[in-house]
A = this chain, B = another copy of it.
Amino acid sequence: FWPLDTPALEMAELLVGKYGEDEKLIYRFLDHGQREVAMRYDLTVPLARVMANHPELPLPFKRYQSALVWRADSPQRGRYREFMQFDVDTVGSLDVLSDVEMIQLIERTLKALGQNKFVIHLSHRGVTGAVLESMGIDPSKQILIFRYLDKIKKTGRDATRENIGQVIGDKKAEELLSTLIGSEAESRLEKLLMDNPAWQNLRQIADLLELNKNPHLLLDLSIVRGLNYYTGLVFETFLGEFSEVGSVFSGGRYDDLMRQLTGKDLPAIGASIGVDRLLSVIKGMGIGHRQSCCLTVLPGLEKESLELAERLRSANLDITLILGRRDLAKQLRYANSIGATQTIIYGEQEADSQTFLIKKMDTGEQLRVKGVEQLISELNRG
């Protein structure tokens, strides 16, 4: 996948009419040239503009983008007016391998981030649509039913049945849920939709992914995704112990959206990470932590401390020289205040003998080592 960057400001007319009722959340204003501009609201519409402006791009065009987006929403826990999105998309291919690759990419990405308890839930808009059709449900009701179904993990099965029941009646709502959900869903659907192309497509993807053998993959027809534009495979990813934060890596196939946006026939599949949400969980797991050491600067030893800092930094250690404090006690207080885990006390005696006194800031324990090599290995031990 190629990296792609797009500007924070787009012409407002590009964004207008693309986000339904959420359009009111777009930040827009007149720039210095009296052009109406808008701040980036997502990464999909800018991608469509790039595809429309650059017909020379080879197809399929595979890009990733990590960028801020802005929404004038009411801020609440886990929802901000400014947040970082990471999107990856393959544009211009109907090939089932592009669906398979996207799922494998999610798996590889989360493993690279040190996760091993995630599950990617796979479903298919065409399959859910075919089930509704087989039940004789009016297609105009589909969007509303999908909206209720999309919330089932939050509201629970009963409330979902009740909500959908108000659209198509309780009996049909129960029939729908018991067709889509539960351990026998797959065999029921196999019977019901054997020759349906959407079902065949989903089966083929599952087969190429060896879904049944992979503990990270799960067929889950209750997944539909909130956005209207999905047409095929859809998926959400939950992190075992942190599933309450919701899906951290989601997406699906959208074969019509790019045509609406660009006028060109560009089937596509994409996936998106809510970076803040994912980071909040990963940080909670202690990833990204690094040993932080302070080094005293005692009067008359400025040059010596500087030189030692340089040597230790060359060994890839994070060293903070303690600036502007002559007194050792004050220096140690500063080290504490910035959360240093270790402080190297480097006085006349230490400089003369090239021994070093390490103070472990949590226990207060002090340790004397001889020579820089031993100092480095002790600091790395933490």
Nearest Cβ on chain B to A139's Cβ, whole angstroms: 29
A95 touching B27, Cβ below 8 Å: no
For the complex, would chain A's binding face be called helix, strand, loop or mixed by DSSP majority? Answer: mixed
User: Given A306-B100, A310-B104, A320 and B62 touching (CB < 8 A)?
Assistant: yes
Q: How far is the CA of A90 from the CA of B323 in the complex (A)?
A: 10
Q: How many chain copies? A: 2
Which residues of chain B have C-beta atoms less than 8 A from A31's C-beta?
A: 27, 72
A97 touching B321, Cβ below 8 Å: yes
Contact of A94 among B30, B309, B321, B324 (CB under 8 A): B324
Contact of A323 among B24, B25, B98 (CB under 8 A): B98
Nearest Cβ on chain B to A60's Cβ, whole angstroms: 5
Is A284 an interface residue, CB under 8 A from the partner?
A: no
A324 touching B95, Cβ below 8 Å: yes
Which residues of chain B have C-beta atoms less than 8 A from A8's C-beta?
A: 8, 39, 68, 70, 82
B72 touching A32, Cβ below 8 Å: yes
Chain A contributes a number of interface residues (CB within 8 A of B) equal to 47
* Interface hits, A84-100 → B, CB 8 Å: 90, 92-98, 100
A208 touching B32, Cβ below 8 Å: no
User: Given A8-B82, A338-B58, A97 and B310 touching (CB < 8 A)?
Assistant: no
Q: How far is the CA of A362 from the CA of B68 in the complex (A)?
A: 38
Is A101 an interface residue, CB under 8 A from the partner?
A: yes
B7 touching A82, Cβ below 8 Å: yes
Nearest Cβ on chain B to A208's Cβ, whole angstroms: 6
* Interface hits, A1-60 → B, CB 8 Å: 7-9, 24-25, 27, 29-32, 39, 58, 60
Q: How far is the CA of A313 from the CA of B321 in the complex (A)?
A: 41
B101 touching A321, Cβ below 8 Å: yes
Is A77 an interface residue, CB under 8 A from the partner?
A: no
The chain B residue sitting closest to A302, CB to CB, is B97
| Seed contacts A25-B32, A97-B305, A208-B302; 16 additional CB < 8 Å A-B pairs | A7-B82, A9-B27, A9-B70, A24-B32, A31-B72, A60-B324, A62-B320, A90-B323, A93-B323, A93-B324, A94-B324, A97-B323, A98-B324, A101-B306, A101-B309, A104-B306
19 A-B pairs within 8 Å (CB atoms) are namely A8-B68, A8-B82, A9-B27, A9-B70, A27-B31, A29-B30, A31-B72, A32-B72, A58-B334, A60-B324, A93-B323, A95-B297, A95-B323, A95-B324, A97-B297, A97-B306, A98-B323, A101-B323, A208-B303
Of all A-B residue pairs in the complex, the 10 with the closest CB atoms, nearest first, are A29-B29, A58-B337, A95-B323, A95-B324, A32-B72, A93-B324, A93-B323, A58-B338, A7-B82, A98-B323
